[in-house]
A and B are shown apart, each in its own frame.
Chain A
Amino acid sequence: MNRKNPLGSGFLLLAIAGAVGYGIGLGLDVLATGRLNFSGPVPSAFALLFALTAFFFGVYGYRGITRGLVYQVVGTLLGGLFVTGVRALMGLSVFGPFFFTEPAWVFGALVGVIAFLFGVGVMDDWVKWARGMDTPDHHEDEPGWEKYFGVSLDHKVIGIQYTVTALFLIAVGGLFALIFRTELAASGLQFLNVEMSLFGQNGPQLYNTLMSLHGMIMIISILLGISGIINYVVPLLIGAHDMAFPRLNAFGYWVAVPAAILLLLALVLGGFDTGWTGYPPLSARAPVGMQMFFLGVFTAGWSSILGALNVIATVLRLRAKGMTAMRLPIFVWASVATSIIALTATQLIGLSFQLVMFQRLFGMGFFDPAKGGNPVLFQHLFWFYSHPAVYVFVLPGLGIISELLPVFVRKPLFGYRWVAMSSLGIALVGFLVWAHHMFTSGMNEYLRVPFMYSTLLVAVPTGVKFFSWVATIWKGKIETPTPMLFVLGAIIVFLMGGLSGPPNATIALDLHLHDTYWIVGHFHDTIFGGFVFPFFAAIYYWFPKATGRRMNEFWGKVHFWLMTPSFLILTFGMMRVGLLGMRRRIVDYDPALGFDFTHLIMTICAFGIALSVLIFFVNFFYSIKYGEKAEGNVWNSRSPEWQVPSPMPVHNYDRPFMVVGEPYDYGLPGSKYIEFVDGTGKQPEVVHVKEKH
């Protein structure tokens, strides 16, 4: 491979291998079906897998992620062939419309995921331990960018791997959104019409697949994004050298990579038409892409569960001396709250999807009324995770808002204890509200009322956060560099999401709002306010810590001022058409409803957001190498990670620190949050600057 221009050789190999894979797939497809179908699923699937693998081969060589991908491709094929062979021996049908039959694809995909984990090398140490061999506590990472393409045990490397993967998935999910947003710009079918065919799907089917995958790919990208920030920041904030379980940490990241590939496979293998919710009986009838979707989400769930376990263990065990519960940085509280949910609820979405998988594979009638099953039961299982999941998405974001506000207003966080406890309050109440997604589902009519009460209760701890933020800003000496702009944008956008929530809780009104674009608008407001804006704020804020350079301030502001109004207009439009009768998840709308103009505006705004994110991407990758040097305490923060030079040293703090004061005592002269323990072993004196009341 060409070491001088790895990206160039990557793209070259991508093109060549893509063409080769397409040819192989086409040949196999002809063998299986006897027809030549150029836009069919099988050639596309092979082209996708081959191109992706070859790209990483060109960039990085045959190791790390490349080896993982090769193992995954080979594992998938071997697993598929194994089941195909067994079927042949049993006298069952050998080939399906997607070359392999559905059981062969599912088993193959499962083998592929496991093979990936062995191939990438994340199991190496465990395998060695099982064989009675020793491994070093820390593995030395490769220098430069190459360490990000292989297994590293350093939480900072893993945090960046998570973050960049999340950004990649945001780009993919956003691209899908742009495609169907363009289709929706006018009534009637523009290009996703019934005559077209791609990946074995006609236009409306492809719309359904893209819309469904937009949802799930964004959700996975959010889960990876929060893992990225938490992984990078939490050990630094609490003064730990690493996460409690570094190998588990690496496993958590790498298991998400084959999961993301399965989701992409779902697109080409016939797609699926259920939305990200995957309700049966529709999901019991969808093409094989449905199974890739289920398996992908199931696999990604492991990342979430194991990551959450690691965060909780790390915060419980590895805090610096003196860092008591009420002296934790507020983002750590938010991370713990979100991890409690992820650790205990994620199993339910895995279980509900697994039950549908088994219904399809083995004819078990869990949700099939003809066999005594109950389709509404799925919805209960599904939402028992998927409602708390939105708090998994937003709690870290709200933590970032609370963490950064004091820095940029130069005032303590107002009501620290209340803000910390409100995160736990939201996490707790979030477990009791799931059935508010089911007010029209045909569940027991009277049971809806207690769920209305519990749902409305969420407004109370959320309100505490908003009021505390406003009180923090009040009379502060406010500065507005890019991270602060995104914090303020997050507050406004999340406020819109929060305020558009209670109407959905009051049941009778929800009977009108449910399953409309009102809900789509509400949801996007909560997620942009609770995750996307804070995520960007966090990246702009901690970018210098990771790279020793800062992102361009001017283009950061362009990003903000383009994205914020575009996004607000987009969601206002969504809510408007929703109230007037626009249902969710439709490829086309009745021109008599008069929505064409609003939809055109919304599409333009969507492209505005895309352009702003593109600007962010350029700024991000450009600044890694050419950004303005920023090695000191760029934001004049009290937080421990800013008291050492950037980029962060490999093993974090050379000297341990000790907490001697409150984290956010801005404006209190002489106060300190931490003090480093020097080499002489002399303990610093604990300073009590203020009176406790």
Chain B
Amino acid sequence: MRHYVIVGLLVIAMSVLAYFGAHIVWPMPVPASVQATPIDWMWNLQLIFISFLFSVIVVPLFYSLLVFRRKAGDGSDGEHMEGNTTLEVTWTLIPLFIVLAFAYMGAGNLADTLRADPNAMVVKVTGIQWSWKFEYPDYGVVSDELHIPVGKQVLLQMTSTDVIHSFWVPEFRVKQDLVPGRMTELRITPTVEGEFKVRCAELCGTSHAYMEKPVIVSSQAEFDAWMAEQVALAAAAAQTPEGRGQALVAANGCAACHSIDGSAGIGPTWLGLFGHEVELADGTVVIADEEYLAESIRAPQAKIVAGFENQLMPTYGFSEEQIADIVAYIKTLR
């Protein structure tokens, strides 16, 4: 009997220790969305049970190892204890009840994160190897940064042009894959102003690690100001070919592979590219003129630059005018 009392007390003590220890070793990021609240509540509840179950197993185990270990010179066997049906039924039924309760609460918990606001602002999100494109259909603005006003639900309507990506801002908690050929949705209501990052969570190829873009949560007034500025910038850029080209480049994430400052990347840099000689994989040398650049956008595998043999740049389906605009932009990078 004495053993059971000691172990019982130790289990309680260990559970408390394990619970606080777990919160220290395994912290969550700062919560920054309405959806984070039920998720963090569930996390805390899970930690309570984890700590208790951990202690229920580990304490009697180590207690036995210390107290019941074989003494030197003792050659006898242990007590012949075959089993106990009551005990087995108990430790089958109680966990069964607990997991069913968890599943029931988990369903309600999920519903809390899915709650829809009919007035949510729609943003269309496109995942591209290896960048993000955010379109605001109400404003006609396209950006590679996600700007959203605080306290207002945003409905992300997401798809991908190539492979599967996944939208995740750790501070918002919720995550959703972007699947080519279909539209997936995610609802987020930010509660904290600040700059976060969306990080692609589904392996999507060579530069998966770098598929990150800023997510800026600001007051409605700041958001409106940013949006007005974007509308004006887009209007100004639309006036010149290189302006339109720069907007296309930003929206399609070209910089994920092609640097504009001469640094090394997955694809050749664009800095000082136009008008210079380029050595191709088959050893020939060509001049990077307008025709070459247009061909390389239209059919990326037609001429491959030496050293980039294993990179498969996708075709983007730009129109001829758009290609001309992008070439015009590349020409400005000297």
Listed in ascending order, the chain A residues whose CB lies under 8 Å from chain B are 33-35, 97, 194-195, 197, 200-202, 204-205, 208, 270, 273-275, 279, 281-282, 285, 287, 369-370, 373-376, 409-412, 414-418, 440-442, 445, 448-449, 452-453, 456-457, 459-460, 463-464, 466-468, 470-471, 473-480, 488, 491-492, 495, 499-500, 502-503, 505-509, 511-512, 514-516, 572, 575-576, 579-581, 583-590, 665-668
Contacts and interface: CB of A to CB of B under 8 A. Distances in A.
Given A449-B110, A588-B210, A282 B163 contact: yes
B64 A474 contact: yes
B232 interface: no
B177 A503 contact: no
B39 A508 contact: yes
A511 B39 contact: yes
Interface of B: 3, 25-29, 35, 38-39, 42-43, 46, 49-50, 53-54, 57-58, 60-61, 64-65, 68-70, 74, 76-84, 87-88, 91-92, 95-96, 99-100, 102-103, 105-107, 109-110, 112-114, 162-164, 166, 168, 170, 173-177, 179-182, 184, 197, 199-210, 212, 264-266, 281-283, 307, 309-310, 312
A442 B182 contact: yes
A282 B83 contact: no
Given A470-B60, A508-B38, A512-B175, A35 B78 contact: no
Given A476-B64, A478-B65, A512-B170, A449 B107 contact: yes
Contact of A468 (B28, B50, B88): B88
A35 B283 contact: yes
A585 B203 contact: yes
B31 to A, nearest CB: 10
Contacts of B176: 440, 442, 511
Contacts of A575: 25-26
A590 B110 contact: no
Contact of A415 (B80, B84, B202, B206): B84
17 contacts: A205-B310, A281-B180, A415-B84, A415-B87, A456-B103, A470-B60, A488-B65, A506-B109, A508-B110, A512-B174, A515-B201, A575-B26, A576-B27, A583-B168, A584-B203, A590-B212, A667-B80
A145 B138 CA distance: 75
A34 B280 CA distance: 12
B46 A502 contact: yes
B181 A581 contact: no
Contact of B102 (A204, A376, A448, A456): A456
A646 to B, nearest CB: 22
Contacts of B87: 415, 467, 471
A600 to B, nearest CB: 17
Contacts of A478: 64-65, 68-70
Given A35-B283, A470-B60, A588-B210, A576 B25 contact: yes
A199 to B, nearest CB: 9
B84 to A, nearest CB: 7
Given A511-B173, A579-B26, A369 B182 contact: yes
A511 B38 CA distance: 12
Which A-B residue pairs are the 6 nearest by beta carbons?
A369-B181, A581-B170, A586-B209, A506-B106, A667-B80, A667-B77
Contacts of A507: 106-107, 109-110
Nearest to A453: B103
Nearest to B267: A194
Contacts of A668: 80
A303 to B, nearest CB: 27
A457 B99 CA distance: 7
A460 B96 contact: yes
A37 to B, nearest CB: 8
Contact of A282 (B109, B197, B203): B203
B99 A460 contact: yes
A477 B75 CA distance: 9
Interface centre among A97, A195, A508, A511 (most CB of B within 10 A): A508
B179 A441 contact: yes
B316 to A, nearest CB: 15
Given A34-B282, A411-B77, A375 B181 contact: yes
Nearest to A495: B57
Contacts of B109: 506-509
Given A35-B283, A503-B46, A509-B39, A194 B103 contact: no
A605 to B, nearest CB: 15
Given A281-B162, A499-B53, A512-B173, A666 B28 contact: no
B23 to A, nearest CB: 11
A414 B103 contact: no
B263 to A, nearest CB: 9
Contact of A440 (B76, B114, B166, B199): B166
B114 A204 contact: no
Contacts of A589: 209
Interface centre among B77, B92, B204, B281 (most CB of A within 10 A): B77
B46 A509 contact: yes
Interface centre among A412, A505, A512 (most CB of B within 10 A): A512
Given A476-B64, A478-B65, A502-B49, A463 B312 contact: no
A204 B206 contact: yes
A495 B58 contact: yes
Given A375-B181, A445-B114, A508-B39, A590 B168 contact: no
Interface centre among B65, B84, B99 (most CB of A within 10 A): B99
A659 to B, nearest CB: 17
Contacts of A588: 209-210
Contacts of B60: 470, 473-474
Given A205-B310, A274-B203, A579-B27, A474 B68 contact: yes
